[in-house]
Amino acid sequence: MNEKFKELLSPYTFKNGIELKNRVIMAPMTNFSSDDNGNVTDAEVDYYARRSQGVSMVITACTNVTPNGKGFPGEFAGHSDDMIPSLERLAKGIKDQGAKAILQIFHGGIQCPPELVDGDVVSASDITGENGEKKARGLSQGEIEEIIEAFGETTRRAIEAGYDGVEIHGANGYLLHQFFSPMTNHREDQFGGSLENRMAFPLAVVDKIKSVVDEHANSPFLVGYRFSPEEPEENGFTMGETLKLVDALADKELDYLHVSLFDFFSTPRSGVDDLEKTRIDYLLETIGDRAPLIGVGSIYSAEDAYKAFQTDVPLLAIGRELIIDPDWIQKIEEGRENEIITEIDKEKQKELVIPDPLWNAVLNTPGWFPGV
């Protein structure tokens, strides 16, 4: 192994004692490959197993905590105890290859296709489209409490199914993100209005999940939180507001925080004084030593990872590149980093063990993957 990559592949131990064999994690990516009932398929297990040999930890695609939270076709579910055997298959497929298995849990909110939720699309508030059509109805306080409970119940199922942790998906425009955003949260109760109130629902979910872990986990179990740095719209939340959320999350003694970025080295749009400083630098400053930050975003080559790791981010997640080259880590370990493939080979679906629905999405979404 090239000496410069030694730290990237060095072990990392979380505060709760769980140890990772290296600093590289598989980022969560939707693969559209479960069956119509929300069960994990053989193709899905094979896809994850193929990518679990080198990385230290795999964060799964998001799984819905309630039936009306299903955000994609072909998404595997975690909303009832009937789903535990399905969840268990995936955890085993990952762990058998030597990686820790983290179940990402979420509710899609307004992002849920109406046909997947019996037409009842919900969000933080009533939301109408440009032509006045109703796109989502606001949740009642009782329903909010039920969803908080559902996050806790899905965490219990993850524990019973053998996962090493859960990641709360508070990013990418899904329900927790919708409560934090002034664009979608127009509530006038304790869950809306001020920045503090817009943070109340995400923080309540964190508290519920941590209490479930305390009650049900017999061994160390990770709880992480993924967030978006800011919204591009003028009336969306800013980087400065996110730093306040991150500060509150770091005080919750979470095991890690995970930013959702398309470009690791991107800079803020608004809400902070220095727009030249990277988002990663701002986040590391805000979090301090309270929790490790997972960085992510367009890391393809070993050199990309090396540069990202020089920012002092302790953990690095890689997504699309592990679909392109599942042997990314092994090639660095063996000193063959120059053999890493950084563009998708359209002739190698079978060799890459990519399920048909994901393969079709890759090939039909120009600009998403290098080489397409």
What is the C-alpha to C-alpha distance for residues 315 and 313, in angstroms, rounded to an integer? 6
Q: Please, are residues 27 and 318 in contact by the beta-carbon 8 Å criterion?
A: yes
Whole-structure pTM value: 0.97
Pick from 124-138, 211-225, 257-271: least confident: 124-138
At residue 73 the predicted structure's pLDDT band, cuts being 50, 70 and 90, is very high
At residue 161 the predicted structure's pLDDT band, cuts being 50, 70 and 90, is very high
| Over residues 299-327, mean pLDDT | 97
Whether residue 132 is predicted with pLDDT greater than 90 in this model: the reply is: no
pLDDT given for residue 131 in this prediction: 87
The percentage of the chain sitting over the pLDDT mark of 90, rounded to a whole number, equals: 97
Whether residue 129 is predicted with pLDDT greater than 90 in this model: the reply is: no
Distances, alpha carbon 340 to alpha carbons 47, 48, 296, 322, 330, in Å: 19, 19, 18, 10, 10
Q: Which domains, ranges and CATH numbers included, belong to the chain?
A: 3-363 (3.20.20.70)
pLDDT given for residue 1 in this prediction: 87
| 174 tagged catalytic | yes
Backbone angles phi, psi at 51, to 5 degrees: -105, 5
What is the C-alpha to C-alpha distance for residues 208 and 151, in angstroms, rounded to an integer? 8
Whether residue 130 is predicted with pLDDT greater than 90 in this model: the reply is: no
Tell me which of 174, 225, 282, 300 is the catalytic residue: 174
Q: Give the tens place of pLDDT for each residue, 328-370.
A: 999 999 999 999 999 999 999 999 999 999 999 999 999 899 9
Q: Give the tens place of pLDDT for each residue, 204-252.
A: 999 999 999 999 999 999 999 999 999 999 899 999 999 999 999 999 9
pLDDT given for residue 283 in this prediction: 98
What is the C-alpha to C-alpha distance for residues 322 and 325, in angstroms, rounded to an integer? 5
**Mean per-residue pLDDT over the chain, rounded:** 97
The percentage of the chain sitting over the pLDDT mark of 70, rounded to a whole number, equals: 100
